[in-house]
Amino acid sequence: METELKGSFMELRKALFQLNTKDASLLSTAQALLHWHDGHQFCSRSGQPTKKNMAGSKRVCPSNKIIYYPQMAPVVITLVSDGTRCLLARQSSFPKGMYSALAGFCDIGESLEEAVRREVAEEVGLEVERLQYSASQHWPFPNSSLMIACHATVKSGQTEIQVNLRELEAAGWFSHDEVATALRRNNPYTQQQNGTFWLPPKLAIAHQLIKEWVEKPNCSTLPA
């Protein structure tokens, strides 16, 4: 196929650096649906094989007629600021040199605000004073998630980071100039430089969250 179409296959994560918004959304949806169908081939109650409908939007158990629909897990992704700097972190699973905003799954029974405060406290030991909702986005990796993006500020004088090494590999405060420079870098997969860090691709909501902060550092103004 690669020879016939004069192209080559690549990881979808890397492709996001090159795709436009429309194509990226289409491929992300397809990736999520294929992964969901692969993991829901049997009914959790009867154990019998399920069957998908023509559109691929659901699966049905023939024995008890239970209908299964694709689901997304809610995830809060938060860019923390102390007013002049923002906090970026990385997990060991991230590509080398990449830093992003803090992120974590919402627990059952939590509100959005509670999830943000808990995740920030758990991962870096900081207490959120104010937060502001930014936007949301479907994200297919590793499973289908609804990314809920927020800006948050921490209490004055309480900016000492305590990195939870079970969750993160590293975290730190970055200046406005450092982050602005990172935003201007091209595709890091092909242009990595020693001693520099890079940010998620433009189509990722983490990138948009960081860009908002660079363009308006004091955007986290609402009380939590």
The CA distances from residue 25 to 32, 139, 167, 177, in Å, are 11, 9, 28, 31
Encoded tokens for 80: 């923390």
Looking at beta carbons, which pairs linking 189-197 to residues 24 or more positions away fall under 8 Å? 189/14, 189/17, 189/95, 192/96, 192/97, 196/97, 197/88, 197/97, 197/98, 197/99
Note the pLDDT tens digit of each residue in 106-163. 999 999 999 999 999 999 999 999 999 999 999 888 788 999 999 999 987 889 999 9
Nearest partner of 132 among 215, 214, 212, judged by Cα: 212
What is the pLDDT at residue 206? 94
Exposure pattern of 24-46 as b/e (b: 16+ CB <10 Å)?
beeebeeebbebbeeebeebeee
What is the pLDDT at residue 173? 96
What is the pLDDT at residue 223? 45
In this predicted model, which residue has the larger pLDDT, 58 or 193?
Answer: 58
- Whether residue 39 is predicted with pLDDT greater than 60 in this model: the reply is yes
Give the bridge partners for 130, in sequence order.
153, 223
Encoded tokens for 131: 């937060």
Q: Quick one: pLDDT band at residue 196, thresholds 50, 70, 90?
A: confident
What is the pLDDT at residue 217? 64
Q: Quick one: pLDDT band at residue 14, thresholds 50, 70, 90?
A: confident
Quickly count: other Cβ atoms within 10 Å of residue 18's Cβ: 13
- How long is the chain? 224
Residue owning tokens 């799954």? 105
Cβ atoms 62, 68 nearer than 8 A: no
Q: Is the pTM for the entire model greater than 0.75? A: yes
What is the pLDDT at residue 187? 57
Note the pLDDT tens digit of each residue in 159-189. 999 999 999 999 999 999 999 999 987 555 5
What is the pLDDT at residue 4? 83
In this structure, the strands spanning 73-81 and 128-139 are unpaired
Note the pLDDT tens digit of each residue in 61-103. 999 999 999 999 999 999 999 989 999 999 998 888 999 999 9
What is the pLDDT at residue 189? 53
Nearest partner of 135 among 77, 218, 80, 90, judged by Cα: 77
Cβ atoms 210, 86 nearer than 8 A: yes
Give the bridge partners for 88, in sequence order.
172
- The amino acid sitting at 186 is N
Q: Quick one: pLDDT band at residue 20, thresholds 50, 70, 90?
A: confident
